[in-house]
Amino acid sequence: MDAPLWTERYAPDLADLPQAEVRDYLQKAVEEPINLVIHGPAGAGKTAAVRALAREAHADPDNDLTILNVADFFDRTKKEIRSDPRFEQFLQGETEFSKQYRRGSDQRKQYKSGWSKRDMINHILKEYAGYAPSSGEYRTLVLDNAEAIREDFQQSLRRTMEQFHETTQFIITTRQPTKLIPPIKSRCFPIAFRAPTNDEIVAVLESIVQSEGVEYNDMGLRLVAGSAEGNLRQAILSAQTLHEKEGEITKSTIQTIREVGIRGRIEEMLDAAEAGQFTDARKTLDDLLVDEGYNGPEVLEKVLTVARNSNRYTGREDELAELTRLAGEIDMDLAEGANDRVHIGHLLAELGAGEA
C-alpha cells in the first residue's frame, strides 16, 4: 500500500481500547509502572495497546519506547543480525560491555567475529535496556512475539530484567504465555487479551471509514470482519485494500475480500516457492509471521486450505499428496520447536526443489 496504513493512522489511545478490563490494567500500569506479560491471539491488539500505553506514560514516547520483535533475533543468522541497521551500531567497534566480555574471555575473542549468537543478543538487549530515559524516570522495552525465545535465552533476559529494573519497564507480548519460564512470569503482571468480536471489529472499521469518507454499508463491514477471523489488524488492512482497489466497502466487493485476505498472500507465497524464487517466498512468509501476526501453525493450515480448495493442483494430485505429507512433518516440528520461520521456510524450499 502506498498510502499510510490505517493501522498506524488510527492507532488507538488507551481510552479507545475495546476491552474494559485491559484498559483498567494498563491505566494502572501508567500510574504505577510495572513489568507486564501481555498475552492473547494474533491481531487482538497487543502491540497497539503497548504503543497506547507508551503515549500515555512517556512525554517522549518516540525515544522512550523500543519494540523488538523476537523473530528479528532468533529467526536470523549472526550475519543477518550484525547487518541489521538497528543493531549494527551495537556490534561494531568497542563498548564498555564488549571490553568486559573480552577481559572475561580466556580466548580473547575478537569483538565482531568471535561472539556467539547468545552473546550478540545479550549485548543488544543490555544496550537497549541500559539507555537513559529521554523523559521521566524510566523507559519501556518491549519484546514482541516472545514465544520464540528459547529457555536458555530467557534466563539471560531474566538477568537483564533484574539488572535494569530501576530504569526500564519490560513488556513481553506473546501468544503462548506457557512458554515463558516461571522466573520471568513472576516478575511481570499478566494481562490477557481475547480476540475481538465481530461487532467490536465492525465498530472500529466503521469509525475509520467514516473518518476517511469511504463509501460503505453494514454488510460490507461485516464481511470484512468475518473474513479476518478475529484478527483486528488484518480486518483494518483488508478494509483499506478494498477501499484502494474498489473505492468502496460493500457487499458487492465480497470476491475482492477473498482475494485480499491471507488466501491471496498464501497463493503469492506458493507461486514464488514453486518458481524457485525462495527469497520472495520467504519475504511473504515474514510479512505473515511478523507484520500480520500469524503463527506457524496458522500459516501451515492456510497453506493446506489453499492447496486443497483451489485449482492449483488440478492434475497434480501426486504433488498435492507430497505437500500434505510434508506439511504433516512440519506440523510435528512446529509442535516441538519455536522457530516458525525456519520450519515453514523448509516447506517452501522443498516446494521449490520439487519444481526444479
Residues 118 and 249 in one domain: no
Query: Residue 212: which CATH number?
Result: 1.10.8.60
The answer to whether the CB of 292 falls within 8 A of the CB of 262 is yes
Residues 163 and 74 in one domain: yes
Residues 31 and 158 in one domain: yes
Residues 153 and 59 in one domain: yes
The DSSP symbol for 87 reads T
Pick from 137, 160, 192: which residue ends a domain? Answer: 192
The answer to whether the CB of 300 falls within 8 A of the CB of 344 is yes
Note down pLDDT in tens along the chain; length 356 residues.
Answer: 556 889 999 999 999 998 899 999 999 999 889 999 999 988 888 999 999 999 999 999 999 999 988 877 877 788 888 888 888 878 766 555 555 555 555 444 455 567 788 888 888 888 889 888 998 889 999 999 888 788 888 888 899 999 998 899 999 999 889 989 999 999 999 999 999 999 999 999 999 999 999 999 999 999 888 888 888 988 998 899 889 888 899 888 766 665 556 777 788 888 888 888 888 888 888 878 876 667 788 888 888 888 887 677 777 888 888 888 888 888 887 776 657 778 888 888 888 776 54
The total of structural domains in the chain comes to 3
Query: Residue 313: which CATH number?
Result: 1.20.272.10
Residues 295 and 253 in one domain: no
What pLDDT sits at residue 259? Answer: 57
Residue with cell 512468509: 285
Helices marked H in the chain: 6-9, 20-31, 46-57, 61-64, 71-74, 78-83, 96-103, 111-114, 117-130, 151-163, 182-185, 198-212, 218-227, 232-246, 254-260, 262-274, 278-286, 296-309, 317-336, 340-355
The DSSP symbol for 75 reads T
Please report the sign of the dihedral spanned by the C-alpha atoms of residue 203, residue 192, residue 337, residue 144. Answer: positive
What pLDDT sits at residue 317? Answer: 82
The answer to whether the CB of 30 falls within 8 A of the CB of 49 is no
The answer to whether the CB of 115 falls within 8 A of the CB of 123 is yes
Pick from 209, 239, 260: which residue ends a domain? Answer: 260
What pLDDT sits at residue 106? Answer: 46
Residue with cell 534466563: 155
Q: How far is CA 354 from CA 51, 130, 267, 276, 313, in A?
A: 44, 48, 17, 9, 14
The range of the structural domain enclosing residue 341 comes to 263-355
Residues 161 and 202 in one domain: no
Residues 38 and 170 in one domain: yes
The answer to whether the CB of 340 falls within 8 A of the CB of 176 is no
The answer to whether the CB of 292 falls within 8 A of the CB of 283 is no
Residues 33 and 170 in one domain: yes
Q: Is 249 helix (H, G, I), strand (E, B) or coil?
A: strand
C-alpha grid cell, residue 179: 512458554
Report long-range pairs for 324-332 (Cβ below 8 Å, ≥24 apart).
326/350, 327/300, 327/303, 330/300, 331/297, 331/300
Using N-to-C axis directions, what is the helix angle for 340-355 and 278-286, rounded to 10°? 150
Residues 29 and 147 in one domain: yes
